[in-house]
Amino acid sequence: MTLDLPAAQTASRNATERTGLIGLILFALGGFLNQGVFYCGLILMLLAGLWQMTTLWPQVRREPFFWVTMALFGYVATSWLIAAWHYGPEWRPGIFKHGADLLVITGIFSLAAAFWMRADPRRIRLVLALALASLTINLIIGFEWSELGATLAGRRNHFGMGNGAPLYAAMGLAGIIILLAHSRKRPAWLIAGTALLAVLFSLVIFWSQTRAIWVASALVFPLLVLYLAWRHWQKGASTRKVLAATLITAGILVAIGAMNSDIITKRLTQHEMRLSENGNASWPLQTTDNSTRFRLLMWQEALLRIEEKPVFGWGAGSSSMLILTSDVVGHHFRHFHNLYLQILAELGIVGMLLISTWVALALKNAMARTRNHFAEGMHAFIISTMALFALSGIFMIRHDDEYGQFFLILIIALCVTGKFAPANQARKTD
């Protein structure tokens, strides 16, 4: 026998539910499209979640992931404030800005997003669909279409999203491949629409000319396609059909790469684009690859700084200060272009261990889900996108803008949302 809540309490709970759901929608829609909408969604989800703390607390208090999240958040916040106080007013604005970027992704908002997704497949599909839509719109409107000729001739184009554009396009491409592989019904509009998106994302990957994503994609996508083929074959699908689908998918990806072979060749031979006075591209050009040379200098500088303060690091947000005070690295850089070295330099071994434990527990939670049809697709999506991020992190960092923050918050939230499923939610095969 259960007692009905008083009308006022019920109305308050319903209002909180609506607020949390609105925050989740704003978070997903604004992630790749509008910074203000994205941050507004984060705040609404967090406040609405805190309002339901009586529901949230029993679900998280026994979870190691929650306590590691709190420890990581506290460590980063403390390191950030100490660095801002210790290094003085000259460096304080930069430390506050870059430290805040790191603080946003250290778990609090991931827990809020995970709570409001509630492991509900409909909500998760909504979030992913809105993220896909906002990503597609941003890539299309962010590309400098007036310079298409120069781009095809080998000039880099960042699609309005910097070096992150190809990473997020690769994430979208992985999601589309998984969607098609796990769709039991494939209407014509789904096949046509996803095919167009696959072409768009593939072009973004190539036209942005980010070699780190080329390497990451070359390692991840063959394994993803083989995994999906193996799962279908394991479930009893016709070997001939599985082989045909695998070859078609691989053939399409290879064909798109072949169509852009000229861009690939110019980028890999370390040419740098210059335009003549009339705006036309001219070759051959300078062959010194400054990006590689400066990365090596930055990594060398990072290693020296890590040796000086290996345990606790220089403080969250301090990488800009470390580079600008370097006698080796050019002063127009603001980070070390290597996620792992940057974490070690800013947060030390302690911070790296906390972050590694945090990510490992998130993955453990993701893999613990019931092995149903929907969960299998989510597993493949989470692993493939995290692999893309981890590999590209060797050459770049992606937590220093709202796009990277949305990406990381979303992926970690997808990992742990299963912990917030209502007790009476049936675990049915989708």
Give the separation between CA 20 and CA 12, rounded to whole angstroms. Answer: 12
The encoded tokens of residue 249 equal: 């998918």
Give the separation between CA 43 and CA 405, rounded to whole angstroms. Answer: 14
The encoded tokens of residue 354 equal: 């906390």
Give the separation between CA 169 and CA 147, rounded to whole angstroms. Answer: 20
Lowest mean pLDDT among 194-198, 224-228, 238-242: 238-242
- Mean pLDDT along residues 119-134: 93
Compute how many other C-beta atoms are within 10 angstroms of the C-beta atom of residue 234.
9
> What pLDDT is recorded for position 262?
74
Taking only the tens place, the pLDDT of each residue in 259-311 is 777 777 777 665 444 444 444 444 343 444 566 777 888 898 899 999 999 99
End-to-end CA distance of the chain: 31
Residue-range domain boundaries for the chain: 23-420
The encoded tokens of residue 157 equal: 């184009």
pTM of the predicted model over 0.75: yes
Provide the 8-state DSSP code for 398: -
The encoded tokens of residue 57 equal: 């607390």
Taking only the tens place, the pLDDT of each residue in 93-111 is 889 988 899 999 988 899 9
* 233 within 8 A of 186, measured Cβ to Cβ: no
Taking only the tens place, the pLDDT of each residue in 38-82 is 999 999 999 998 888 777 777 778 888 989 999 999 999 999 999
**176-to-126, 191, 206, 384 alpha-carbon distances in Å:** 15, 10, 17, 12
Task: Look at residue 332 and tell me whether its pLDDT is greater than 70.
Answer: no
Task: Look at residue 124 and tell me whether its pLDDT is greater than 60.
Answer: yes
The encoded tokens of residue 97 equal: 């800005």
The encoded tokens of residue 352 equal: 């790296």
